[in-house]
Amino acid sequence: MNLVEEENDSKKDHINEIVLSDDVQRAIEQVLQSSDPLDQPDFNPTDYINQLFPNEQSLSNIDEVISKMECDISLIDDNIRSVVRGQVNTGENGRVALKEAQQSLTQLFSLITDIKSRAEKTEDMVKEITRDIKQLDSAKNNLTYAITTLNHLHMLVGGVENLKRLSERRQYGEVLNPLQAIIEVNQHFQQYSEISQIQTLSAQVQQIQSELATQITDDFKNFFSPTSHSNANRMTITQLKDACQVASVLDKPVKKNILKWFINLQLQEYVQLFHENQDIAWLDKIDKRYAWVKRHLLDFEEKYGTVFPPDWEVSERITVQFCTITREELAKIVTRRKTEIDVKLLLFAIQKTGNFEQLLDKRFNGTTLVEATSEEVRQERDSFNNLIGSCFKPYLDIYTDSIDRDLTALIEQFAQQNQQMVVPKEINPGIIPNCADLFVFYKKCMVQCMQLSNEKPMYDLVLIFKKYLREYAAKVLEARIPKPQPPNSTTSTISSSMSLLTKDFQNLSTAAGQVIHNFLKEGETPRFSPEDMRKICYILATAEYCLETVQQLEDKLKEKIDKQYIAKVDLSDEKDVYHRIISNCIQLLVHDIDAACEQSLLLMTKIAWHSISNVGDQSGFVNQIITNLKQTVPVIRDNLANSRKYYTQFCHKFVNSFIPKYINTLYRLRPTSSGSSSASGSAALVASASSTSISDSAANAPAGGNILGCEQLLLDTHSLKTVLIDLPSIGSQVQRKPPASYTKVVVKGMAKAEMIIKVVMQPVHPASLYIEQYLKLMPESNVVEFHKILEMKNVRKIEQQQLVEAYKRACPQLQQQTPVSSSSGGSVGTSGGDTGGTSGQMSEPTAGGNSTQSQQIAAAAAAISGAGSSIMALGDSLMDKGRIKKIENLIKNRLPN
């Protein structure tokens, strides 16, 4: 029962709820503007009560609120009652007003009916009045039409007789006006063609027109015929002019036949004179054809220019027919004698033809070209362009083949000049001159081909351009890139050094050191001379010019060539070739500076860093690097002054190559003392073999805890970073701020080198603190780098394994790599066991060698092995395992058989 009551209550609430549309709500708000929350359409009782009583304390005035609400409800009830009562009165008033409106409509309807009936009576009265007027008007129109028809008939009957008489007398001047009138009247009477008299008159008119056409045609032939000069019936110029006017009035075929006969008569001499069997018809005398028609047109216009009406365009028609005949005759003769055509003759004929066609475009408006019978001519419409020259299009491959041969010779000439050409002495010499000559030739060919055709011959020319752009890049630019020359070395130096090993065993240490020095010197990286570097920059600048010009050439070709070939014009492969040359030149320059820096880095490995007793100025290897950069970079910068972006690219590539090598060299150093006697002895030998002077106290530095070498390395690294940041402006009087991207690369790379040195300076005990410092300084490191740094600190193998395990536990999330074995030949200052392994490798004979060579190799290996661990310590401090293998190969290859 409770559920039923609740459902009924919900239904009542739903029924009592009034939902108004948005339009009604807006209208109410405009009429009854109120800020009371109770008047809002989205009124929520709960929110309103919560607003009145936000807390328990506010309930103290609930009686006042209820009293106010009851007062408002009473006021609203009163308003509702007054509105309901007013609505009752309003309904009564509305019924009264509706009744009055219905009465007014009835009266209005009766008035409209009365007006309509009166209008109908008025219309009938008007029709009765105007009936006679309409009859009179119709009679007038009929009478006027009858009189006009009778006048036309009279004109037709009298005009036919008059035309017969005038035509027999050949009085064409008097025939013109009556003929025009009779033709118009005859067309008017075509609607009465069923009347026999009209049919007879129409037939007479047609007969007169036919007789006039035949008579005028015969008169033309008699007048212009070569045998008619003695004829007494020959017309005068005035009669001939009037006859042309009459022919214009007659049917179109009359005029067309007269012009066709007359034009053929005018060109009859030309056809016979320039027949294909005549010598004058060949291409070398093609200008005589055009000279003939010019003379003939001048003669014709002087004699008969006033005879023909201007709208006949007789001179233009003669010229069009001349062009058509010439094109057909040239096509036949060129097909028959194609083997006799060379490019000069072809271009001569095309040039003369093009000039003649341009002259015709200026002289005539081309209106008669539409009437030409040739489809090829109709395509040209109002232009004489290619009206004759189209016959040469199938043979333009002769021209493109000639361009191919000329470019072949030109590239060969450039290649020969390439062997003798030297780089100009001035700074920033520009580009190779023949490069500009090549593109000037290209432009000339393109302009010339545009005059010939912009269709397939132009596309063939594009293919030729592509071919010789690659040829120029290979035979002129790439062939001119200098090759670095290795330093002079002879086998006599090696033989003399080996003799020290075999003959002077008392000074075995010195002899072994000399052998190693000679092999190192022989393995030095070849360098470029300053002239070669300027030549590389010269080629780079030329390749850049070619790259930019090829892009312009591609755009111009796409603009000029026919639209059906635009998508096929693509020089991207050729641009890639010049991009490759530029990249190769930059790489060679970078490699050259790298080669010089490698010697300085090699000197860096010779310094006994663990024996340094005090930190002073920057080391000698830094001075060498700075000197090398100051000698080399300004040359490159001055010669790439117009290629600034590629100079910046060179600087980027150099630092990206040098900084990793510098960091790898740092890994090979042992800047902290290990306390072992073997290390001290090795350091002493290294110090004695180094060209850099080191104090005697450095060689006898106490074992353990010496980080002065690290401090010196830190100072040297900072100096190198400063130099590398200023590298783009090094040696320049004008200091420019380097690009931000370049500075970022240098700072990031050299910061890693500084962090490596700082990590090496940290004590390994306690291990947890060392690993914590390591992760702070080198957060992006891995196990391999961690192992290399332990090698730099001369940490014992057992401690290394413990520290590596601790490092793995500290950062398990890293992708760990297998550390390099501590006994590898790549580490410096390794134990004597490693030396023995190396000696064992060096003592192996070459496969396939004879017994004498094997004995010599074995003797050399035994001599080196007998020199003791001090000599091998020297070798380990100078080179890594790869360089030791290089020495082995050099020994095997250089020993005499």
Judged against a pLDDT cut of 80, whether residue 24 lies above it is answered with no
How much of the chain, in percent, has pLDDT values that exceed 70?
Answer: 69
Is residue 609 within a helix (H) or strand (E), and if so which, with residue range? none
Say how many CA atoms lie within 13 Å of 367 toward its Cβ.
7
Judged against a pLDDT cut of 90, whether residue 573 lies above it is answered with yes
Max mean pLDDT among 287-301, 428-442, 478-492, 647-661 falls in: 647-661
pLDDT band at 857 (very low <50, low <70, confident <90, very high): very low
Q: How far is CA 832 from CA 825, 837, 868, 870, 881, in A?
A: 11, 9, 10, 9, 14
Judged against a pLDDT cut of 90, whether residue 656 lies above it is answered with yes
Reference 851, options 811, 784, 897; nearest CA is 897
Report the C-alpha gap between 252 and 767 in whole angstroms.
Answer: 115
Judged against a pLDDT cut of 70, whether residue 836 lies above it is answered with no
* Mean pLDDT across the chain: 74
| Between residues 723 and 672, the one the model is more confident about | 723
What is the model's pLDDT at position 63?
83
DSSP codes of every residue in 405-470: HHHHHHHHHHHHHHHH----SSSS--S-HHHHHHHHHHHHHHHHHHHH-SSHHHHHHHHHHHHHHH
Q: What residue spans of 706-847 are helical by DSSP H?
A: 708-725, 740-761, 767-777, 783-792, 797-810, 832-842
What is the model's pLDDT at position 420?
65
What is the model's pLDDT at position 681?
33
Token reading at 73: 């409800």
Other CB atoms within 10 A of residue 174 CB = 15
Mean pLDDT over 828-836 rounds to 34
Judged against a pLDDT cut of 70, whether residue 805 lies above it is answered with yes
What is the model's pLDDT at position 849?
38
What is the model's pLDDT at position 186?
63
What is the model's pLDDT at position 441?
93
Burial 855-891 (b: 16+ CB within 10 A, else e): ebbeebbebbbebebbbbbbbbbbbbbebbebbbebb
Q: How far is CA 499 from CA 167, 409, 411, in A?
A: 132, 57, 54
Q: How far is CA 711 from CA 412, 686, 761, 788, in A?
A: 60, 20, 8, 19
What is the model's pLDDT at position 199?
66
Is the alpha carbon torsion for 38, 43, 45, 49 positive or negative?
Answer: negative
Judged against a pLDDT cut of 80, whether residue 366 lies above it is answered with no
Other CB atoms within 10 A of residue 309 CB = 14
Q: Which of 72-81, 495-504, 612-621, 769-778 has the lowest mean pLDDT?
A: 495-504
Evaluate whether 387 touches 380 at the Cβ level (below 8 Å): yes
Judged against a pLDDT cut of 60, whether residue 471 lies above it is answered with yes
Reference 837, options 871, 865, 798; nearest CA is 865
Provide the whole-model pTM.
0.60
Other CB atoms within 10 A of residue 349 CB = 24
What is the model's pLDDT at position 553?
93
Judged against a pLDDT cut of 80, whether residue 744 lies above it is answered with yes
Mean pLDDT over 441-455 rounds to 88
Report the C-alpha gap between 463 and 459 in whole angstroms.
Answer: 6
Q: How far is CA 82 from CA 33, 75, 93, 181, in A?
A: 20, 11, 17, 98
Judged against a pLDDT cut of 50, whether residue 347 lies above it is answered with yes
Q: How far is CA 349 from CA 280, 285, 334, 342, 393, in A?
A: 13, 8, 11, 11, 12
State the residue for tokens 């900084």. 659
Evaluate whether 522 touches 495 at the Cβ level (below 8 Å): no
Report the C-alpha gap between 538 and 545 in whole angstroms.
Answer: 11
Strand blocks (E) in 186-254: none
Report the C-alpha gap between 795 and 787 in whole angstroms.
Answer: 10
pLDDT band at 543 (very low <50, low <70, confident <90, very high): very high
Is residue 176 within a helix (H) or strand (E), and if so which, with residue range? helix 172-188
User: pLDDT tens, 575-607?
Assistant: 999 999 999 999 999 998 888 888 888 888 888
Report the C-alpha gap between 436 and 637 in whole angstroms.
Answer: 23
Phi-psi label, residue 528: left if phi above 0, alpha if psi -120 to 50, beta otherwise = beta
How much of the chain, in percent, has pLDDT values that exceed 90?
Answer: 13
What is the model's pLDDT at position 155?
60
Q: Which contacts (CB < 8 Å, 24+ apart) does range 492-498 have? A: 493/518, 493/522, 494/518, 494/519, 494/522, 494/890, 494/894, 494/895, 495/896, 498/856, 498/860, 498/895
What is the model's pLDDT at position 173?
63
User: pLDDT tens, 113-165?
Assistant: 999 988 988 888 888 888 778 778 778 777 876 776 666 666 666 566 666 66
Torsion of CA 676, 680, 683, 684, to 10 degrees: -160
Evaluate whether 501 touches 511 at the Cβ level (below 8 Å): yes
Phi, psi at 799, each rounded to 5°: -65, -35
What is the model's pLDDT at position 442?
92
